[in-house]
């Protein structure tokens, strides 16, 4: 749910940070939707590793992904929030772990269904000043990608939910319904997509609607994107972010079971 919202939120982690970092090094990497909040149905071929670093005005992030099983990605990462005393954000780290499973895909490979879920807070779905410990927040969502004009335009829909089991460390549980929609338009800039998205949360874990616009350059092994976004009310913190995604060849040691070769990879 790699890729983010109001980064003035404060998320605290304890000893799990060391474990998360160790897992990243040990696996050689699990994938990410980069700095975009949305995602699509695509998953990396079996045995492929993905690395997705992102740097913004208020945070830096690293997500590593391993396609250990066919049609399935295991994602693990960490976000470093910079110390921003003017907006009351303390420097800290937050860990993330989630699994993504593709359920179906069209013949062209640009549309289909997927589901994903895991633990670790996505700052896109938090309000300013909210405090949540790692592994006290859980989420899941569906991913539906619809292509138009032979794939020149793609539309992603991501309905889902999250639950904070210890909201603001008060012992209270807060539920929320998350929403995200993203449109990518190709064939305007060579080898690139113009991307726009809207996302937020309703319910007890409310987060105000936010928009993001960007350009994403794509090649077979590397993707680079630059984005700018803010809340619709203007009360958030406008931010510029840049990130990249790097894909490896198929690595046999990452395959659980016999590697399934992807003829298009």
Q: Given the structure tokens 């998205």, which residue do they identify?
A: 197
Q: Which two tokens stand for residue 122?
A: 């996505």
Q: Could you tell me if 64 and 247 are in contact, meaning their C-beta atoms sit under 8 angstroms apart?
A: no
Tens of pLDDT, residue by residue over 120-156, are: 765 555 554 454 556 778 999 999 999 999 999 999 9
Q: Could you tell me if 226 and 20 are in contact, meaning their C-beta atoms sit under 8 angstroms apart?
A: no
Among 24-28, 59-63, 255-259, where is mean pLDDT lowest? 24-28
Look at residue 83 in the predicted model and tell me its pLDDT.
Answer: 67
Q: Given the structure tokens 């994903």, which residue do they identify?
A: 116
Percent of the chain exceeding pLDDT 70 equals 74
Q: Give yes or no for residue 24 having a pLDDT over 80.
A: no
Which SS3 state, helix, strand or coil, does residue 251 take? Answer: coil
Exposed e or buried b per residue across 176-210, where buried means at least 16 C-beta atoms within 10 angstroms of its C-beta: bbbbbbbbbbbeeeeebbebbbbbbbeeebebeeb
Q: Indicate the pTM of the whole model.
A: 0.80
Q: Give yes or no for residue 84 having a pLDDT over 70.
A: no
User: In the structure, what pLDDT confidence band is assigned to residue 28 with cuts at 50, 70 and 90?
Assistant: very low
Question: Who has greater pLDDT, 18 or 45?
Answer: 45
Please list the helix, strand and coil fractions of the chain in percent, rounded to the nearest 5, in that order.
10, 55, 35
Domains of the chain, start order? 10-254 (2.40.160.40)
Tens of pLDDT, residue by residue over 197-254, are: 999 999 988 888 999 999 999 998 999 999 999 989 877 666 899 999 999 999 999 9
Look at residue 136 in the predicted model and tell me its pLDDT.
Answer: 76
Selection from 181, 239, 229 nearest residue 38 by Cα: 181
Look at residue 14 in the predicted model and tell me its pLDDT.
Answer: 36
């Amino acid at each position: 749910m790699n890729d983010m919202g109001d980064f003035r939120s404060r998320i605290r982690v304890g000893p799990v940070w060391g474990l998360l970092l160790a897992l990243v090094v040990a696996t050689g990497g699990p994938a990410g939707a980069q700095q975009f909040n949305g995602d699509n149905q695509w998953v990396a071929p079996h045995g492929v590793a993905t690395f997705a670093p992102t740097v913004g005005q208020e945070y830096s992030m690293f997500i590593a992904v391993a396609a250990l099983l066919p049609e399935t990605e295991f994602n693990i990462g960490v976000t470093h929030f910079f110390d921003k005393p003017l907006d009351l954000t303390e420097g800290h780290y937050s860990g993330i772990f989630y699994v993504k499973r593709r359920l179906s895909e069209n013949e062209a490979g640009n549309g289909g269904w997927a589901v994903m879920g895991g633990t670790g807070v996505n700052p896109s779905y938090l309000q300013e000043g909210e405090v949540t410990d790692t592994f006290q927040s859980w989420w899941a969502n569906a991913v539906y990608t619809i292509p138009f004009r032979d794939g020149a335009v793609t539309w992603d829909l991501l309905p889902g939910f999250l639950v904070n089991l210890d909201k603001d460390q008060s012992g209270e549980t807060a539920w929320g319904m998350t929403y995200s929609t993203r449109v990518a338009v190709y064939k305007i800039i060579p080898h690139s997509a113009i991307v726009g998205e809207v996302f937020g949360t309703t319910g007890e874990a409310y987060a105000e609607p936010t928009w993001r616009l960007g350009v994403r350059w794509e090649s077979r092994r590397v993707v680079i994107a630059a984005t700018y976004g803010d809340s619709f009310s203007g009360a958030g913190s406008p931010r510029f972010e840049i990130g990249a995604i790097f894909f490896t060849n198929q690595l046999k040691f990452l395959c659980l079971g016999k590697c399934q070769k992807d003829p298009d990879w």
